[in-house]
Structure 1
């Protein structure tokens, strides 16, 4: 599976769990960490965990390995490492504090096909 396809699969998993402000950043030109960052948030710890769990399940359904998940228990900032795609699932309070979108402001945003039903 191509990284951009994987990014779309992950975004859909987030959207299915009602993650808010889902954005994707193309990191290829600005960082060696990953090709893409996906950033979103949930409104409480339970929702943050639900989003992270959905990412893991959807990725594994597509026969891709999740390398690791950090921060799941505290559910304030859960990092889901899927290799070249790294997902940051924040609690809404933490997202504005860390403001990764500004920190990685040089990265181009990637268009996602989510939330189009209805």
Structure 2
């Protein structure tokens, strides 16, 4: 599975858990961390946790290893590291505060098929 397919798979998993305002950024030219960032938010901590669990289940079902999940304790900003794709799942309030879309404003947005 290539990184774009993985991005689409994770976006679908987020959408299945009703994540809001999904934004995918192409990071290949800007960062060594990952090929893509996927950013979304949930309206409460339970939803943020459910989104991260949905991603984990979806990718593991396809044989993709989750490298690390951070932030699950407070479920205000959960980061799911899939190596080529890093998913940032925010609580709505934290998303507007950290505003990763602006921070990485030079990144090209990627169209998602969800």
Please state which band the TM-score falls in when normalised by the shorter chain: over 0.9
Give distance in 1, aligned partners of 2:9 and 2:28: 19
Partner of 1:69, secondary structure, is strand
**Counterparts of 2:72 and 2:55, CA distance in 1:** 12
1:81 aligned residue: 81
**1:38-117 map, 5 Å:** 38-114=38-114
How many residues are matched? 114
SS at match of 1:79: strand
Over aligned residues, Cα RMSD in angstroms?
Answer: 0.4
Aligned to 1:60, the other structure's residue is in SS state helix
Shift of 1:43: 0.1
* Structure 1 unaligned residues grouped into runs of 5+: none
Encode CA deviations 1:68-109: one digit per residue, 9 max, x unaligned. 000011000000000010000000000000000000000000
Tell me the TM-score normalized by structure 1.
0.96
Alpha-carbon distance, 1:28 to partner? 0.3
Secondary structure at the residue paired with 1:13? helix
Q: Which residue of 1 aligns with 2:17?
A: 17
Distance 1:19 1:95 in 2: 12
